[in-house]
Amino acid sequence: EIVLTQSPATLSLSPGERATLSCRASQSVSSYLAWYQQRPGQAPRLLIYDASNRATGIPARFSGSGSGTDFTLTISSLEPEDFAIYYCQQHINWPLTFGGGTKVEIK
Amino acid sequence: EVQLVESGGGLVQPGGSLRLSCVASGFTFSRYSMNWVRQAPGKGLEWVSYISTGSSLIEYAESVAGRFTISRDNAKNSLYLQMNSLRDEDTAVYYCARRDSTGNQDHWGQGTLVTVSS
């Protein structure tokens, strides 16, 4: 099973600041990595697929990078609605696995 | 508009059974493979099961293999999860999610809560 480790667990930032979230895989997942956003009480939403492609309707302030084992999700300037939990997920191998999540909270 | 609506959750005793359903609309259901993903209270996301468009390929997480059965009825635009021998640790919100052509979950339902407790 591929283990995804996200860091930090919590990121305390102010609106307008830049957020940098990390996801590290226990073995290479090539570019088969996605990022999801989950707001309180809501279902997850696909943000980034194949490591660096924004999903339909996702604002340009969200960007993804990386390949192999190290990946980054960047939010260039935090909007109030961006304070949420973010998960990475790999789909190169079964079982599909998710990272433990990074909570982006208001400082 | 793509919609996925889960139902069938509820309170069940340990060792009991439940059948979850997910009804799809707004897209051609038979053309998409599907997943079940769950989230225990206050915890992260855990993939549960996958089914291909024609049900020829099915996968399960180790934690549910042998107890849960995924199925689909393309004529009814419906996905199912039969859950047997339920344990306390199966308590979670269960989401159905559409798997798109890139292999990612591009649409999710709002979830149905399963509580296993005596």
pLDDT in tens, B62-81: 999 999 999 999 999 999 99
What is the C-alpha separation between B85 and A4, in angstroms, rounded? 29
Low-confidence ranges of chain A (pLDDT < 70): none
Mean pLDDT for the stretch of residues B13-37 = 98
Beta strands in chain B, from DSSP E residues, in sequence order: 3-7, 10-12, 18-25, 33-39, 45-51, 58-60, 68-73, 78-83, 92-99, 105-108, 112-116
How many CA atoms, within 13 angstroms, populate the side-chain half-sphere of residue B111?
19
- Residue B110: its pLDDT value, please? 97
In chain B the first and final C-alpha atoms are separated, in Å, by: 40
| B-chain residue closest to A47, CA distance | B106
**Distance to chain B for A43, nearest Cα, Å:** 5
What is the C-alpha separation between A93 and A1, in angstroms, rounded? 8
The answer to whether the CB atoms of A100 and B44 lie below 8 A apart is: yes
pLDDT in tens, B42-62: 999 999 999 999 999 999 999
- Residue B102: its pLDDT value, please? 87
Work out the percent of chain B whose per-residue pLDDT is above 70: 100
